Amino acid sequence: MSLRAVPEALRPLPIRVRPRPAETVASYVVRLARANHLQPSYLHAYLCGPPDWRGAADLGRLAVLCGRPLSVLQRALTGPTPARQPTPEPPGGPPRPPTPARTPKPRHTTELAATIRHHDQPLEAGAAPAIPTSQPAPAWAAGPTAAWTGRTVDRKVTSTGVISYANTNYSVGRPFTGQMVQVTCADGVVQIFQGGQPLRTWPRRHPPAKEASIKPDRSHPRGEVALDHAHRLAPLGDLATDPHVVHRLVDPTGSVSFAGRYYLAGHALTGQVVQVRCAGGIVQVVHGGELVRAWRQRHTPQQEQRMLQRPNIQQRTANARPLTSAPQHQPVTPGRP
Amino acid sequence: MVSPTNANPSSHPHAAWRAAVDGEDEHHHLTTVEGWRQFVADAPRPPALLPTSRWERLERADRLADDEARLDYHTRLGVVATSALRQVVHTGRRLMLLNRHAISARRGLIVSGAAGTGKTTAITQLGKTHELMDRQRHPGGDRIPVVYVTVPPAATPRMLAVEFARFLGLPITARANITDVIEAVCGVCCDTRTALVLVDEIHNLQLSTRNGAEVSDTLKYFSERIPATFVYAGVDVERAGLFAGTRGQQLAGRFGLIPTLAFLYASEWQGLVATLEDALRLYRHRPGALTRLDRYLHLRTGGMIGSLSHLIRGAAIEAILSGSEQLTKHSLEAVGLDHAAHHGPVGTRRQPARA
């Protein structure tokens, strides 16, 4: 028997299942299948019908199998459904009065997520590039715990343009990806700054109890040091005269080798030549006269001494050895052993 | 798109035949739950005969409607409670009571006999009786107390499982394997409280073949999974080899056998003919005319109740269509019967008198 054979007449399933209000078609099909001891995927394929037996379930076939009128299913079930058949108008009879308009509710998870995403609105826009505004944020009721912590922490903007503060993500903007910003929370408002300039202001979404466990340098894994802190420890004014500065070529992974250790310079600098030095226990990566990264020292002073003996830049990669002259081949003289 | 319908027979006889004619395109078989329920709910009432003087003055349209109603009635003519039928119903009911709390090794029943001796009628009446009693105890349409299937010829285990699924209304496509079908059938039967499973045409099961053995094993598996009493019916199952081999011995050890035989020319046969005559609705039929022909009827049908019913119903229909409105020996001889009735065992052959 082939799937493409003439389909037999549809018959109601032996066990009926009542649809729940606002239930999706998929959920109802699963419940109907399990009640009749069928595989949900099998029943779904049967509801799709020939010739492909795939796609969206046909409400007409579902109405026959569940033994309920099509209009009842159209009224009860929600979710992705095929094009609904227009319900015939009653022959004669007064038309129904129009139902009052209701606020549409998001049906799909994506719509619900988009609604949540647009729930927050920056109360003030700083010196940031133009970013599409969102819907107004709801009025937050300031509770007794909405105290001002008065603590500013540094956060690094991720690749998606958000920073994490008290286990809650707050948007800064993709143009600030990779940059350090300062975050503080006061009176139920989260403020994001950069260089003293306000960037974003968001209503607090995190529980106030989590603010006590905020670490100032949480966004600095692997020993990365904040740039301003590195500036204070080792100013760049004497960079040109510092004999401990070496040039390094950033490898394809965005790292440079310094004293036997790899320090991340940034993927944006791949193939670029940067200046690296270690001062005050901090390894500074400088490009174009500007400090781009600062890391806590992970190498030993002995390794640094050995490195300084060979400070020249590598030709190809961080571990490339200098090219040597090719061996000369002796010509073969006939008759000579 | 097919929309399921369930035509309920109306109580008025004239409306009943109209509903029957209108529903000819949607013939429900006993092998579907809708057809079975229609069979259980079917209770045709004999149409009332009008006074002869009024009947003779009927208009053409009214005469036609009255004839159609009586034609539809005579095509059914009801079921006569013979001794074999009463024995099957009684034994089946007792077995179902005995199996009520059985965990496994439930007892079953086999109805065996020659063709036309009323085997299918007996087991279907048993199922109808049980279902009507179950509906009285448990009103509502969610239960399937009786399952009726027939063993297809050259059956395989999957074919048998598909028969069960087809009765229940479970969708079966080429994707469904036998395991899924059996699981669905057993699950639905358990959930819908199936207590009686009727398996007809069991003589199609050949235990000597591999497929037949597997079908027998599948039936055994169903009997273990479904807490129901299994009743088989088939033509001369003993001679068909149903009790042969290991599987046959297991069947013989758990299933009782009720044979259905041809009626001897005795009081029961005379009572049977009288009962069928009382059910006739012909305006000019003389009461007792058929009972005086009981010996002729026995010689003509060989004592087979199936042939007798066919003979009387055919003659009654012919009497209505011809307008004679009565059964005579001449009208009975004009009705052709099955080959077995014409060419029975040597010494019992009955040849209809040539017209």
Q: Is the pLDDT of residue A60 over 50?
A: yes
pLDDT of the residue at B336: 85
Q: Is the pLDDT of residue A101 over 60?
A: no
B187 → chain A, closest CA residue: A37
Residue of A38, A39, A58, A66 best to disrupt the B interface, most CBs of B under 10 A: A38
ipTM entry: 0.80
pLDDT of the residue at A6: 41
Which residues, in sequence order, are bridge partners of residue B229?
B196
Whole-prediction pTM value? 0.58
CB contact under 8 A, A1 and B174: yes
Q: Which of A318, A230, A220 is nearest to A281 (CA)?
A: A230
CB contact under 8 A, B192 and A1: no
Q: Which residue has the higher pLDDT, B252 or A239?
A: B252
Give the pair of three-digit tokens for residue A96.
């129904």
Give the pair of three-digit tokens for residue A30.
């699963």
Of A11, A43, A46, the CB nearest to B4: A11
Provide, as residue numbers in chain B, all residues whose Cβ is less than 8 Å from the Cβ of A53: 173, 175
| pLDDT tens figures, B232-253 | 999 988 887 788 788 888 888 8
Mean pLDDT of chain A: 73
Q: Is the pLDDT of residue B29 over 70?
A: yes
| pLDDT tens figures, B305-329 | 889 999 999 999 999 999 889 898 9
CA distance A53 to chain B (A): 10
CB contact under 8 A, B186 and A37: yes
Q: Is residue A74 within 8 Å of A87, Cβ to Cβ?
A: yes
Q: Is residue A295 within 8 Å of A259, Cβ to Cβ?
A: no
Q: Residues of chain B with pLDDT > 70: what percent?
A: 87
- Please tell me if residue B31 touches chain A, with a CB cutoff of 8 Å: no
Q: Which residue has the higher pLDDT, A190 or A237?
A: A190
CA distance B4 to chain A (A): 6
What is the CA A146 to chain-centroid distance, rounded?
Answer: 28
Per-residue pLDDT averaged across B173-198, rounded? Answer: 93
Spell A15-28 as b/e; 16+ CB within 10 A means b: bebebeeeebbbeb
pLDDT of the residue at A12: 92
Residue of B3, B166, B193 best to disrupt the A interface, most CBs of A under 10 A: B3
The lowest-confidence range among A52-61, A87-96, B129-138 is: A87-96
Provide, as residue numbers in chain B, all residues whose Cβ is less than 8 Å from the Cβ of A39: 180
Separation of alpha carbons B29 and B149, rounded Å: 10
pLDDT of the residue at A131: 39
| pLDDT tens figures, A105-121 | 555 555 555 555 554 44
CB contact under 8 A, A37 and B34: no
Handedness of CA B76, B78, B81, B86 (dihedral sign): positive
Give the pair of three-digit tokens for residue B140.
């509502």
pLDDT of the residue at A206: 86
Position B340 confidence tier, pLDDT thresholds 50, 70, 90: low
Contacts with A, B 133-152, CB within 8 Å = 142, 144
- Please tell me if residue A67 touches chain B, with a CB cutoff of 8 Å: yes
Q: Residues of chain A with pLDDT > 70: what percent?
A: 65
A79 torsion bin: left (phi>0), alpha (psi -120 to 50), beta (else): left
Provide, as residue numbers in chain A, all residues whose Cβ is less than 8 Å from the Cβ of B184: 36-38
CA distance A155 to chain B (A): 56
Position A218 confidence tier, pLDDT thresholds 50, 70, 90: very low
CB contact under 8 A, B4 and A65: no
pLDDT of the residue at A127: 43
Position A329 confidence tier, pLDDT thresholds 50, 70, 90: very low
- Please tell me if residue A48 touches chain B, with a CB cutoff of 8 Å: no
Which amino acid is it at B162? V
Q: Is the pLDDT of residue A318 over 70?
A: no
CB contact under 8 A, B184 and A36: yes
A50 → chain B, closest CA residue: B173
- Please tell me if residue A14 touches chain B, with a CB cutoff of 8 Å: yes
B199: number of Cβ within 10 Å: 25
CA distance A67 to chain B (A): 8
Residue of A11, A31, A41, A47 best to disrupt the B interface, most CBs of B under 10 A: A11
Those residues with Cβ within 8 angstroms of residue B299's Cβ, 6 or more apart along the chain or in another chain? B348, B350
CB contact under 8 A, A9 and B2: yes
Q: Is residue A55 within 8 Å of A44, Cβ to Cβ?
A: no
Q: Which of A171, A174, A202, A172 is nearest to A187 (CA)?
A: A202
Residue A171 phi/psi, 5° resolution?
Answer: -80, 140
Chains A and B form CB pairs within 8 A to the count of 66
Compute the C-alpha angle B13/B18/B21, nearest 5°. 125
- Please tell me if residue B156 touches chain A, with a CB cutoff of 8 Å: no
Separation of alpha carbons A60 and A50, rounded Å: 13
pLDDT of the residue at A79: 63
Q: Is the pLDDT of residue A328 over 70?
A: no
pLDDT of the residue at A331: 46
- Please tell me if residue A16 touches chain B, with a CB cutoff of 8 Å: yes
The lowest-confidence range among A84-88, A288-292, B312-316 is: A84-88
Q: Is the pLDDT of residue B231 over 90?
A: yes
pLDDT of the residue at A334: 46
CB contact under 8 A, A14 and B34: no
Task: Report how far apart, in Å, the C-alpha atoms of A259 and of each of A225, A252, A275, A288, B254 are.
Answer: 18, 19, 13, 22, 89
A106 preceded by a cis bond (ω within 30 of 0): no
Give the pair of three-digit tokens for residue A150.
């008065």
pLDDT of the residue at B144: 95
The lowest-confidence range among A64-78, B17-31, B50-64, B225-239 is: B17-31
| pLDDT tens figures, B103-161 | 888 999 999 998 888 899 999 999 999 999 999 999 877 899 999 999 999 899 999 99
Mean pLDDT of chain B: 85
CA distance B38 to chain A (A): 15
Position A219 confidence tier, pLDDT thresholds 50, 70, 90: very low
CA distance B122 to chain A (A): 26
CB contact under 8 A, A15 and B34: no
CB contact under 8 A, A39 and B180: yes
Residue of B188, B193, B225 best to disrupt the A interface, most CBs of A under 10 A: B188
Provide, as residue numbers in chain B, all residues whose Cβ is less than 8 Å from the Cβ of A9: 2
CA distance A82 to chain B (A): 16
pLDDT of the residue at A232: 76
Separation of alpha carbons B151 and B211, rounded Å: 12
Q: Is the pLDDT of residue A37 over 60?
A: yes
CB contact under 8 A, B4 and A2: no
Q: Is residue A270 within 8 Å of A250, Cβ to Cβ?
A: yes
pLDDT of the residue at A128: 42
A254 torsion bin: left (phi>0), alpha (psi -120 to 50), beta (else): left
* Three-state DSSP string of chain B: CCCCCCCCCCCCHHHHHHHHHHHHHHCCCCCCHHHHHHHHHCCCCCCCCCCHHHHHCCCHHHHHHHHHHHHHHHHHCCCCCCHHHHHHHHHHHHHHHHCCCCCCCCCEEEEEECCCCCHHHHHHHHHHHHHHHHHHHCCCCCCCCEEEEECCCCCCHHHHHHHHHHHHCCCCCCCCCHHHHHHHHHHHHHHCCCCEEEEECHHHCCCCCHHHHHHHHHHHHHHHHCCCEEEEEEECHHHHCCCCHHHHHHHHHHEEEEEECCCCCCHHHHHHHHHHHHCCCCCCCCCCCCHHHHHHHHHHHCCCHHHHHHHHHHHHHHHHHHCCCCCCHHHHHCCCCCHHHHCCCCCCCCCCCCC
Provide, as residue numbers in chain B, all residues whose Cβ is less than 8 Å from the Cβ of A60: 1
- Please tell me if residue B26 touches chain A, with a CB cutoff of 8 Å: no
End-to-end CA distance of chain A, in Å?
84
Provide, as residue numbers in chain A, all residues whose Cβ is less than 8 Å from the Cβ of B180: 38-39, 42
Of A13, A46, A64, the CB nearest to B3: A64
Position A147 confidence tier, pLDDT thresholds 50, 70, 90: very low
